[in-house]
Structure 1
Amino acid sequence: MNPRILLRGLLLIGSLVALGYLFEVTQLGSLLDKGWIDSEIRGKGLDGELIFIAIGALATAVGLPRQLIGFLGGYAFGFLFGTLAALIAASLGCVIAFYYSRLFGRALVMARFERRIRRVNDFLSGHTFSMTVLIRLLPIGSNLATNLAAGVTHVPAFAFIAGSALGYIPQTAVFALAGSGIEVDPVLRIGLAIALFVISGVLGAYLYRRFRHGRSLDREIDRELGEEQAVEEQQKA
């Protein structure tokens, strides 16, 4: 996998870890003790959990990185439940963006993502569930643009959403791990998060190369993976 992809992911993990460290050991941390997560989420039981999921769903639906929601889920709830809550939020965000595009935003999405829509339709058609899982494993690409473009295509909604939810799991778990309990064994936790991120990224890149059958989702993804020339040659053949 292209080292630039891993570098961007590692920098994202590092920046979130640094932010979480500040939460715990600086005045920023004391402010956040009185802030949104601690006042509205932590210790609020089911109400806090539902608020987090609802806000996370809306945030990812409009383009906030799902990795950030994973990190905040880990910070708010710990690794296991934080992963689950963030996964539900990201999946609901996918549903919202998908159906907004399919039911209400067709003209707007067609105008802005016409070329991507054709690529998404070609890429997902026939094996929607497995191909969706594949692209969600990649540590690159736009989650929002893919959701909007898929909504305009004729791909089945359930297969796309279910494939997205399954494919979201690795990165959600990685960032929830980075955000959770960082005051305890930080080197071990962050080291494990980085290792899991690298493994999931390499796996996603391998599966993309192995099972796409000459189809291309996005030129940027192909370029990052060093596959753009190979795709063009297959299309000309």
Structure 2
Amino acid sequence: MPTTKPKNLALLLLVFIAAAVYFSDQLTLETFKNNKLFIADFIAQNYVLSVMLFFLSCIIFVNSPVPFAAAIKMLSGFFFGFYMGAIYNIAATILACVVGFGISRYAFKDLFERMYYERLQALESEIEENGFYYFLSLRLVMVVPYFLINILAGISRISFKKYLLSSALGVMPASFVYANGGNKLEHINSIDELFSPGMITAILLIALMSLSPLLLKKYRYAKQ
């Protein structure tokens, strides 16, 4: 009985994902740019609803293999401006990560364990002790999709507190980049344009710095 609500939520997410895939041809940056005036008018008249829809979209696409999460996050700046867009982006992404973690740990844990646990079993103790640093760096580098990070964290033994803190810190740099890109959407044709070589290098350096306490600890342990 305790897993009924998470399972219902997961099924609802699947329905929304299926609908998004069906209408995927219309969900493009060009479509949003061409309808800028209509969107601005709708947001002005339905601001709270617009924010709620943005949060719902983030929850759905951050937790799905459908590659719309980056586009949705980028639109935060387009919809709400850089400052509020960044705030909503960070809050919505953290909430999406929490929802994904809950679904993985409580609703579909048995299924996800059958799919992924063998790959994690050898690292179980390591993740329990140092999972904060690993998941923080994975969020920062943006190589592993967020939905996979949520699943792997859910079936690991990392505490919710450490997971939440690593997610909150890890999503911030990319959220600012996406909000800034959305705020300048008129001059951008693709998401790839947001990440220049210098930007990628900076993000990788931040990710490496996030692992430095762990690397230092292992170095000291090896010398003993």
Shorter-chain TM range is 0.5 to 0.7
Instruction: Give the aligned partner of residue 137 of structure 1.
Output: 140
Q: Decide whether aligned partners of structure 1 residues 78 and 121 sit closer, same or farther in structure 2, where only a CA change above 3 A counts.
A: farther
Change (3 A) 1:183 1:127: same
Counterpart in 1 of 2:113?
A: 110
Question: What are the equivalent positions in structure 2 for 1:120-159 lying under 5 Å apart?
Answer: 121-159=124-162
- SS state of the match for residue 129, structure 2? coil
Q: Is the 8 A contact 2:33 2:186 kept in 1?
A: no
**1:59 aligned onto 2:74:** no
> Counterpart of 2:48?
46
Letter in 2 for 1:169: M
CA-CA distance at 1:127 after TM superposition: 3.4
SS at match of 1:62: coil
Measured in 2, the distance between the counterparts of 1:144 and 1:168 equals 13
Residue 16 of structure 2 is matched in structure 1 by none
Matched, 1:29 2:33: yes
1:4 aligns to what? none
Deviation at 1:86, TM superposition (A): 1.5
Look up the match of 1:7. none
The equivalent residue for 1:218 is: none
Q: Could you say which residue in structure 2 is the equivalent of 1:15? A: none
Decide which of 76, 81, 86 is 2:79's aligned counterpart.
76
The alpha-carbon distance between structure 1 residues 56 and 132, as it changes in their structure 2 partners (threshold 3 A), is same
**1:119-169 deviation per Cα after TM superposition (whole angstroms, max 9, x unaligned):** 663443223434432221113112111111111122111210221111100
TM-superposed deviation, 1:105: 0.4
Residue by residue, what CA displacement relative to the aligned partner does 1:8-35 show, whole Å, maximum 9, x if unpaired? xxxxxxxxxxx65x45xxxx7334644x
Q: Distance in 2 between matches of 1:175 and 1:124?
A: 29
The answer (yes or no) to whether the contact 1:66–1:90 under 8 Å persists in 2 is no
> What are the ranges of 5 or more consecutive residues in structure 1 without an aligned counterpart?
1-18, 216-233
- Corresponding residue number in structure 1 for 2:167: 164
**Match in the other structure for 2:8:** none
Give me the identity figure in percent: 19
Change (3 A) 1:154 1:47: same
CA distance in 2, matches of 1:132, 1:151: 12
Aligned equivalent of 1:231? none
1:180 positional shift: 0.8
Task: Please tell me whether the aligned partners of residues 171 and 197 of structure 1 are also in contact (alpha carbons under 8 angstroms).
Answer: no
How large is the Cα RMSD of the aligned pairs?
Answer: 3.3
Aligned to 2:202: 199
How far, CA to CA, are the matches of 2:68 and 2:158 in structure 1? 24
**Unpaired stretches in structure 2, ≥5 consecutive residues:** 1-27
